[in-house]
Each structure stands twice: as structure tokens, then as C-alpha cells.
Amino acid sequence: MSQDLFTKHRATLEQAIETTRRRDYWSPYPEVPSGKVYGEEAAASGQAAFEGRLNERLALQQPGRVAEIGNEVSPYGFALGVRYPKSDLDQLLPAMQASLPAWRDAGPETRAGVCLEILQRLNKRSFELAHAVMHTTGQGFVMAFQAGATHAQDRGLEAIAYAYEAMSRIPQESRWIKPQGKHEPLRMEKRFHVVPRGLALLIGVSTFPTWNGYPGLFASLVTGNPVVVKPHPATVLPLALTVQVAQEVLQEAGFDPWLVALAADSPEAPITKELAQRPEIRLIDYTGSTAFGNWLEQHARQAQLYTEKAGVNSVVIDSTDNLQGLIRNLAFSLSLYSGQMCTTPQNIYVPHDGIETEQGRLSHVEIAQALADGVRRLLSDADRAAELLGAIQSEDTVRRIEEATRLGEVVLASEPRRHTRFPDARMRTPLILQVAAKESDCYYQERFGPISFIVATDSTAESIERARESALAHGAITWSVYSNEETVLARMEHAALDAGVALSCNLTGGVYVNQSAAFSDFHATGANPAANACLCDSAFVANRFRVVQSRRHAA
């Protein structure tokens, strides 16, 4: 069956590889939650499947089960009640290691076929996954369907494509003949084996468990490494469902299902530090806070580590010929998922003497007010606001919003909102503050959540330098710039190269700085403190395996 899976999905894999080279648009997983695409019963079936999970035990196949665990509460105001197996690591990890040789020896094609089948089955369960993501992270349903299901599947496929291409460069065998002049040539037969590094650990993040998790999960699995999935205790269900699907496919293909296993824990009894330092763990993928990312770098030295940590994203406004488009675009970017994205803008730099627009010169105060008004207009409709804002994933973010009001002059106050369908949802509108450039202690660190600063600078040159300095010291995932002057755009791009930050120029339409498209956009760069890896590039996959050769004299 496993070889049949490669044949079944080969065209998809080849198209994915080709698209990573062209960097244009393509996706095999439609992002619109439409009955015409997924079947007229898909939406209702997916919701029913999710609701059927509530207050029940989620079945997984893995050794060492000693208890059950689970205490997730939806940011929309109700307990999920799903219970997950808790395994003894001293039993689980050796069992996974014992399963590695068969998975390794199956070869790249077989592993790729199995991984592609996992993704296809996940895609068929996208509605269920979307509800799971929505009610653990707080994303609105449409965003959860896209970012939590289909776009995450795109990212997983992208990682498989890069990894398979890297492994394919290694021939399985060769005949080596070296001429020796008058003497007989030297002849050797050589065999080359792609060898995994060992067990991989995926440490899930609370806000984007699948979108951030699938690249590392599939990059490790397709290169032969069994994967321990350690979700954030507040967002277990999306990754637990992923593990369940992976186990089903692995078992059907003739492999031990616990080649992908869940390691759930609780805030009261965390296991991440213990797990990350286990000698069996040779790869770690992590998304989350800078503090814990730094701890991993210092203590999990036995493992190859891929991290995405916190960053301070900047917008430089120099001038525009489409003020309303600028305001609409930024208002959407600040409001989407209540700013709980690693790509959300935080610092918006505007010269204090203002900018040139098609409406004349406007001061930084007028720009700040226009942005505040734009956010109000965008969120004026309750249904639209509910879908766009989603819910706040953590109470810590609510406290952070309240504390941030002391950091500057409030241009737009953050307000609680009542969700149209979930009256107990934890909802807040964006907070916009105004500060002077010299007050960098306020805005040079990430303030995670719907918190942003209008920073008044002496000039656009200072704005660019402030953004550059902040990224080099504290990291950044995204930058955005607005200017009518090519010289300014060029200076900003040069600064982005120095700081290792992805740059967007003059976004006024339906593309937003928050968004990152699989197969085309490189998410993060690994070139500043916000991340040491990129999702995805060849460096993200190539160090997950080694090549071991054997050779003998040939006749």
C-alpha cells in the first residue's frame, strides 16, 4: 500500500516542487469553506464531528499510557472537556525509537506517499479541524478554516516538497571507476542511505498550532524521524486530531502508528523542559515566547533546534497617494485575529511634521486619528467584527492590553465586545497608542495582542533606522512601507536586507502584511532574533537527515 500512496500522490508532489521553484500561486487544498468544493454535507458533518468530541476521550495508539489529561476552555466561553492519553516518556520514547528502523528503511518515496496521504485525509476533515482551531485558539471560523486547516496543509506539503527534493539528490547507489593509466581502473560499488537524526519534538504554540506546526511535523516525518507532538495545553485538540489521522495512515501502510505520538501535559505539571532535554530527542521545532526559545537554545543542546520567537514588526509611513486604501489595509491588519499573529504590525512610524497624501499634507496626529477612525468603521458591524477579531486566546493578553494603556497617549481605546453567537467570548478591539520616538522602552519589545504604537519621528530616515535597529536587536517577521518615492522604497529595502526582514510595499488592496502564502512567501528568514529558521526553505529540511554510505570493490 505504501508504494501505491506515492504513485497516488506523485503528481501533487511534483507540482509542489515545481511551484517552490517558481514561487507563484498554487494550492491543492481549496481555502473556501464551500459545499461545492468539499461536499454539501461537509460543513454540517465537520461541526457534528467536533461537537461529538466534546466531553469525550480521544483515542490514540501509543505505548506507555498511564492516565488521561485535558482541560481546554474555548476562548468563546465553554469547556471542551476532551480527554487525551498521557504517556510515560520512559515507555513511549523507546517504543518510538524501536519503530524508527522500519520507517527509515522504507525510503523517501514511501515516506513521502504516506505523508501526502495524511495531508489529503486532513484536508477532508478541514471543517472539523477548523472548529477545533477556532475553539482552542479563538480564531474566527473562516480564518480557522484557512490558516488552521487548508493553509496549514499547504505549509505541510511545502515542507514535504523541499525535503523530498533534498533527499532525491542523493542516489541510492553508484558505480565509481577511477582510471589508473596503464593499470586496471579502480572500481567501487557504493550505496548511499538517507538516515534520520532520531526522534523529533514539535512544541506547539497556542495561537497557530497547525499553521506553525505542520512544517516541522512533516519535514521531520518525511525525512525518517518519528515525531513527538507536544501541544500547548490550551490548544491540544487540533494537533491531537492531526496525530490521530497520522496514526491511522501509518498503521494502514504497515508501520507502527506511534511513529507520530502525542505528549500532552497541563500548566500545573508541564513536561516540555524534561522532554526537550531527553537524549532521544534530536530535533526540536518550537514557536512561542522568546524567553522559552532562549531557554531551549541554552539547555537542549543535544538537538537541532528550529525556532520562531517574538518579534517587533514595523510600518514606515512616508507618503501615499491612496490614503483611504492605506487606512483600510492597516486597520484590517491591526484587527485580524485581534493582533495575535506573529506578523501583525506593532510600531507605525510617522514623521511628526506629517506626510504628503493626495488630500494634502497631514500631521502625524491626523494620521493617527485617521487610523483610529478606520478601525472603528471596520468594526462597526457586529457580525463582521466577530468574525474578524475572533476571541482573545489567553487571559494574559487581556491583562497585557490593560497594562499597555499606561505606555502612551491613547488614540483608540480597546473595548470589550459581545460576540453575536457566543455571549461569553473573550473579545477586545485594538488599542492604539501614540508615543515619541525617544520613548523606545515602550515599543522596542513585543506587546503581543491588539496593541500598536504610532511613533512620531523626526524624519522618514529616522523611521527607517528605528525599524532597523529594533529588528536587529529584538527581531521582526514583517515590515511594511508606504511611500510615493522610489528612493525611500529602495532605502527601506536595503534596511530590510540588513535586518533580515520580509518587506511589503504600499499595500492598499486585498493583500495584507499579516498574510504569508505557502509555496511563494518565505515566512521568517532566520536572519534576525525573531527566528533561526524559515518556513520553508532548503535549510529548514536538509539538516533533518544525514547520508551514510557503504562501499565495496567491484568486479
pLDDT in tens, 384-421: 999 999 999 999 999 999 999 999 999 999 999 999 89
Alpha carbon 533 to its chain's center: 11
Across 87-109, average pLDDT: 98
Q: In 3-state terms, what secondary structure has residue 266?
A: coil
Q: What is the mean pLDDT of residues 482-508?
A: 98
Count the neighbouring beta carbons within 10 Å of the beta carbon of residue 386.
Answer: 22
Mean pLDDT of the 489-508 span: 98
Give 319-365 pLDDT, tens digit per residue: 999 999 999 999 999 999 999 999 999 999 999 999 999 999 999 99
C-alpha cell at 480: 511594511
Whole-angstrom distance, CA of residue 432 vs CA of residue 379? 14
pLDDT tens readout for residues 519-536: 999 999 999 999 999 999
Whether residue 1 is predicted with pLDDT greater than 70 in this model: the reply is no
pLDDT at 370 exceeding the cut of 70: yes
Which pLDDT band holds residue 2 (cuts at 50, 70, 90)? Answer: low
Phi/psi zone of residue 251: left (φ > 0), alpha (ψ -120 to 50 degrees), beta?
alpha
The grid cell for 250 is 501509518
Average pLDDT over residues 196-203: 98
The pLDDT confidence band at residue 537, using thresholds 50, 70 and 90, is very high
Provide DSSP, 58-77. Answer: PP---S-EEEEE---B-TTS
User: In this prediction, what percent of the chain has a pLDDT beyond 90?
Assistant: 98
In 109-238 the beta strands, taken as DSSP E runs, fall at 173-180, 183-196, 199-203, 227-230
pLDDT reported for residue 457 = 98
Burial code (b: 16+ CB inside 10 Å, e: under 16) for 225-234 equals: bbbbbbbbbb
Return the DSSP state at 154.
H
Write the pLDDT tens digit of every residue in 60-89: 999 999 999 999 999 999 999 999 999 999
User: What is the bridge-based pairing of β-strands 173-180 and 304-308?
Assistant: unpaired
Lowest mean pLDDT segment, chosen from 27-36, 142-151, 207-216, 497-506: 27-36
Kindly report, residue by residue over 34-57, the tens digit of the pLDDT. Answer: 888 999 999 999 999 999 999 999
In this predicted structure, the answer to whether residue 27 has a pLDDT above a threshold of 90 is yes
Q: Please determine, for residue 193, whether its predicted confidence score (pLDDT) is greater than 70.
A: yes
- The yes-or-no verdict on residue 180 having pLDDT over 80 is yes
CA distance 169 to 542: 11
Tell me what the mean pLDDT of segment 263-283 comes to.
97
Condensed to tens digits (0 to 9), the pLDDT of residues 445-465 reads: 999 999 999 999 999 999 999
Question: Residue 35: what pLDDT?
Answer: 87
- Domain architecture of the chain: domains with CATH: 2-12+29-309+534-553 (3.40.605.10), 314-505 (3.40.309.10)
